[in-house]
Amino acid sequence: MLTIKEYVSVESLEEAYKLNQNVNNVILGGTGWLKLQNRNIVKAIDLSKLGLDKIEEDEEKYTIGCMVTLRDIEKNVSLNEYTNNALKNSLKDIVGVQFRNCVTIGGSIYSRFGFSDILTSLLTLDTYVEMYKGGIIPLKDFVNMPYDKDILVRIIIKKDGRKVGYSAFRNQSTDFPVITCGVTITENKKVYAVIGARPYKAKVVEDNENILGEFSEENIEKFAKYVSENLKFDSNMRASGEYRKRLTEVFVKRTLKKLMEEK
């Protein structure tokens, strides 16, 4: 059972930060996962008054406030066009529309869940997190940082012309994914894959051996195998580690081929 002693709707990020330094206080997002926990919270800190529920765009980037819901991102026409629907595809099977209308991007990314579809898809892009005290940090670095009591303020996606694709496998619709897979082809033809739900959190694997110096059926298969061999997989109630490894090869190959066909 989740027990909250006091609810505080803050007027500034500084107020929220100071309150959050108490180990028994918690920043509220959409509380989709928080409410499933068995814990006592002294002060629940709400950021709703701070105007962080907007998706903004300019010529260079998208800026997504931490209180933007997953459903807001899923429905954003410009983001869908820029990402070739990769973000939308990574969100459409997360529980249900009602859930996605509540859960926030800030809570989802700060938590860095191993099963996170949206973390995988954002890692395929040139994505950064803006922390209140820590400043702007590349998402690929933030994923591996220890948890602290800083506040994730915004997600920043820079526009650099890359092509991205996303796919995932679930045992049934709306369940947690067995594997998540994102693939990126940058403008200068660099390729990398992002694999999550291994069941560990998403990790980037770059083509450091230049396997795809020339795109061919054989090299695509080699790259898919290279990705699977450079990751750790494990077993849980949804799948074995070996099954996840095999799925990774299949989905990397499938997603990369689809991106090549769309060029």
How confident is the model over 226-261, as pLDDT tens digits?
999 999 999 999 999 999 999 999 999 999 999 988
Q: How far apart are CA 169 and CA 45, in angstroms?
A: 35
d(CA 187, CA 190): 7
Task: Identify the CA nearest to 119 among candidates 100, 135, 142, 98.
Answer: 142
CATH number of 55-158: 3.30.465.10
For the chain, what percent of residues have pLDDT higher than 70?
99
Q: What is the pLDDT of residue 226?
A: 97
The pLDDT value given to residue 174: 83
For the domain covering 163-261, report its CATH number. Answer: 3.30.390.50
Angle between helices 217-229 and 241-261 in degrees, nearest 10: 140
Chain center to CA of 181: 11
**What token pair was written down for 9?**
């709707």
Is the Cβ–Cβ distance between 30 and 102 less than 8 Å?
A: yes
Q: What is the pLDDT of residue 40?
A: 86
Domain ranges within the chain, ordered by starting residue: 2-48, 55-158, 163-261
Amino acid (one-letter) located at 241: G
Question: Edge-to-edge strand order for the sheet containing 25-28?
Answer: 2-9, 39-46, 25-28
pLDDT at 31 over 90: no
The pTM for the full model equals: 0.93
The answer to whether 86 touches 123, Cβ cutoff 8 Å, is no
